[in-house]
């Protein structure tokens, strides 16, 4: 989903797909840790959204919100809001002192959801 969506909307290519795939594969190998979790929204036996909380990679008892994506077919349905709320409730239940995420300019709907859930932009920089 990430590769297809970001190739279409942002012009990202194989490098981006490889970064997402390798990071997600590494994370899935750590799902035995109860502070790591991933959720998927499914419609008609097809994944239409996902989100994860990585409780290990940032250290310092900080949760890392990762791989949040929604299929265009369910945008505006409340499914993304439900996934985000579920992930943040998980972070709260596991006693993380903070939850961090990285994103990039142009993801207006995601930024709106993040801000509605209490996130604020604390750093902005150019990236590749």
Whether 75 contacts 39, CB under 8 Å = no
* Domain ranges across the chain: 2-116
SS (H, E, C) the chain: CHHHHHHHHHCCCHHHHHHHHHHHHHHHCCCCCCCCEEEEEEECCEEEEEEEEECCCCCCCEEEEEEEEECHHHCCCCHHHHHHHHHHHHHHHCCCCEEECCCCCCCHHHHHHHHHCCCCCCCCCCCC
Domain 2-116: CATH class, spelled out = alpha beta
Q: Please give the model's pTM, rounded to 2 decimal places.
A: 0.91
Tens place of pLDDT per residue across the chain (128 aa): 999 988 998 888 999 999 999 999 999 999 999 999 999 999 999 999 999 999 999 999 999 999 999 998 998 899 999 999 999 999 999 999 999 998 877 788 888 889 999 999 888 776 66
């Amino acid at each position: 989903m990430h590769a297809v969506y970001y190739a279409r909307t942002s012009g990202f290519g194989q490098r981006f797909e490889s970064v997402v795939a390798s990071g997600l594969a590494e994370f899935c190998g750590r799902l035995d840790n109860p502070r790591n979790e991933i959720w998927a929204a499914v419609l008609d036996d097809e994944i239409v959204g996902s989100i994860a909380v990585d409780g290990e990679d940032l250290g310092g008892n900080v949760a890392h919100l990762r791989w949040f994506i929604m299929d265009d077919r369910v945008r505006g349905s409340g499914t993304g809001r439900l996934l985000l709320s579920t992930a943040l409730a998980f972070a709260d239940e596991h006693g993380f002192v903070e939850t961090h995420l990285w994103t990039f300019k142009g993801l207006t709907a995601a930024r709106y959801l993040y801000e509605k859930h209490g996130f604020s932009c604390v750093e902005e920089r150019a990236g590749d």
